[in-house]
Amino acid sequence: MESTYWIPEELQPLIAFHGHFCPGILIGWRAAKLAMKLLGTSRDKDEEMVAITENDACGVDAVQFILGCTFGKGNLHFRDYGKQAFTVFRRSDSKGVRLVLKNTDRELTREESVKRMLEEPDASLFSVQEPQEPIPERAVIRKSGFCSICGERVMESRLRPLSGGRMACIPCYVRAEKEGRAH
């Protein structure tokens, strides 16, 4: 079946970044562009923005690519809620917006979803809300320690105490607990 939509040229780098074209990246693309418009910002350079995504689907790649918010910089936060919802804050004044994808009255085909994301106005795609949580703190560089079981370097705040004053990374601690060796 031949597609009945035109893919804007500006999407090509995003498609290359994500690895394929799908409705999911269009959701994130539209949400990111709307957030920038509503907040009067452009792509993040050095943590001027922070984004919270409530899903781990394809749209998150678009949020990273368009907004410049990343896990590595500490200004992209994941909440495992399974919702097509994105909150974006501007750090200079803590102004934020939460965008939630609106439901359709019926299940759409892939083709219909793509057309919807490409053609419908922002107001019919997203519910614009106030953030549901405060702006996350800036990323902090933390000291590292070592797991006494596997020997790998671990952020100190993620180490868990074992008997005898030893410390373990979370996976080793969980295994030790299951085996009755944690305390």
Domains (range + CATH), the chain: 9-129 (3.30.1330.20), 144-178 (3.30.60)
Residue listed under structure tokens 């984004």? 51
The whole model's pTM is what? 0.83
**From residue 179, how far is each of 105, 148, 158, 163, 173 by CA, in Å?**
51, 16, 20, 13, 10
Report which of 134, 132, 116 is spatially closest to residue 124, judged by C-alpha positions: 116
State the distance between the two ends of the chain, measured CA to CA, in whole angstroms.
62
pLDDT of residue 50: 97
pLDDT per residue rounded down to tens, the chain (183 residues) = 456 678 999 999 999 999 999 999 999 999 999 999 999 999 988 889 999 999 999 999 999 999 999 999 999 999 999 999 999 999 999 999 999 999 988 999 999 999 999 999 999 999 999 999 999 998 888 899 999 999 999 999 999 999 889 999 999 999 988 887 767
